[in-house]
Amino acid sequence: MAPPAVPSSGQPDDAQGRARPHVVFVPSAGMGHLLPFIRFITALSSHDAVDISVVTVLPTVSAAEADHLAALFNKFPGIRRVDFQLLPFDAAAEFPGADPFILRWEALRRSMHLIGTAIAGLTPRATAVVSDVTLVSHVNPIAKDLGIQCHVLFVSSATMMSLLSYFPIYLDEKKNPHAGVGDVDVPGVCLMKRSWLPQPLLDLEKLFTKQFIENGREIVKTDGVLINTFDALEPVALGALRDGKVVAGFPTVFAVGPYSSLAATASETVATTAEADDDGSPPMAWLRQQPARSVVYVAFGNRSAVSHEQLREIAAGLETSGCRFLWILKTTVVDRDDHAGVRDVLGEGFMERVEGRGFVTKDWVDQEAVLRHPAVGMFLSHSGWNSVTEAAAAGVPLLAWPRGGDHRVAATVVASGGVGVWMEGWSWDGEDWLVSGEEIGEKVKEMMADAAVRERAAKVGEEAAKAVAIGGTSQTNMLEFVAKLKATAAKIGKEAANVVAVGGMSHMSILEFVAKLNAI
């Protein structure tokens, strides 16, 4: 489908003079954060009464980020690209050994005061900002100074959003402020065990934790939250957020997921088997040769680096399971640093022993296309939220093996929502014990044969399809979000016209704001 045309700067979009909203997206680093932004932007671009700009930070952390951004701007030339240069930041000296993506989040946060100048200078005038949650504590105040709305595009679950927004309150209400972090009972949602929380939250001095708390306090001051989920998947968490049970006065919640399905529906590019057959990549070519529901798809995300010792246990488990498998192997946090060969990691002889029924690659694959392929019968995953929603949309059972971050919180949704099974007792990052190949193989074989698990996952897939279809909950939420953008643009346009009519103070206020930012 051709991208929407972009009108000349600031002109009304019809004869009645209705203002056209201009939305500025401010994504963060990491494919787990960037990919949902790209999918949502793709979906929003189908609403041809909305202008879109995307703040692009260069250089990207990973090669995959650079490739996906380039593809977005190539596919939608009407989307404006706003390049953004970070201030110098000696991350290695200040935070030695920290996660490179968290360091990039911090570098972005320290440079965010400069984003106001870029937004204020856009033509047509910006009417709303959509920020990544990692940056909202800095972006929202700037949006308010500019007199425009700020929404958060949340890349995790509604359950995780409830933890994020309630965690600062939990800390404030602790009877003993010096006691460590324990279980967190989120009102209206569930009791989240200490062992489920992202590991850094257990240390209040961690950089990630400080960012998490600041963003959690600020998010309730925004104008809306877009979440990559759908009502049938997380009814309890969404209800608690919307009803103000988690935090009183919580902003409007738009459940508009799965983003991948919403984007596909909006652009009329839902992958069919015939289209998947046109994919000439080696993994897809191999899948086409396999029987229906016979393949275990194995992938642990773009940021989860499993130890070589555990990778060899996974290999042993896949081998002893007797199942066919497609394994996307990753050994480092940043893809540009991944130089180890498959045989070096998995050991001599493994590839020969599984020849014909196993395919291992370190290349990037279209995970949506893989999961929608009829040969795939199960997904062994780290339960990152993008993977969970993609499995849900495809109706493929997910065997959740959380590795860190929000993965265990996401795994609670996998289990409660019918997406799959959570191996709560299996190790995750920082724990110095291995899950044996024997145990992995037995669980894979058992789940591949479990008809009840398959049936539950298939029903979730049906609900996901209903959500993004015309009249579905996610599609309706999307239309409500667009309507809010249009109403805001109309209000700003009317106010601007009134102010200009009495002396042009609107333009002067913007110049004064830019001057203030430049003086910082």
Active site residues: 33, 132
| Cβ neighbours of residue 348 closer than 8 Å, sequence gap 6 or more | none
Q: Counting beta carbons within 10 angstroms of the beta carbon of residue 16, is it exposed (0 to 12), middle (13 to 18) or buried (19 or more)?
A: exposed
Question: Structure tokens of 308?
Answer: 């070589």
> Rounded to 5 degrees, what are φ and ψ at 43?
-65, -45
β-partners of residue 190 are 186
Burial 274-287 (b: 16+ CB within 10 A, else e): eebeebeeebbebb
Q: What is the DSSP string of 390-434?
A: HHHHHT--EEE---STTHHHHHHHHHHHTSEEE-TTS--TT----
Question: Structure tokens of 406?
Answer: 């929000």
d(CA 361, CA 331): 12
Which among 496, 491, 518 is positioned nearest to 506, based on CA atoms? 496
Neighbours of 12 (CB within 10 A): 13
- The strand pair at 128-132 and 22-26 is best described as parallel
In angstroms, the Cα distances linking 156 to 142, 152, 374 are 24, 12, 27
Any idea which residue has 């949006």 for tokens? Answer: 143
Strand locations in 142-294 (E): 149-154, 184-186, 190-192, 224-227, 253-255
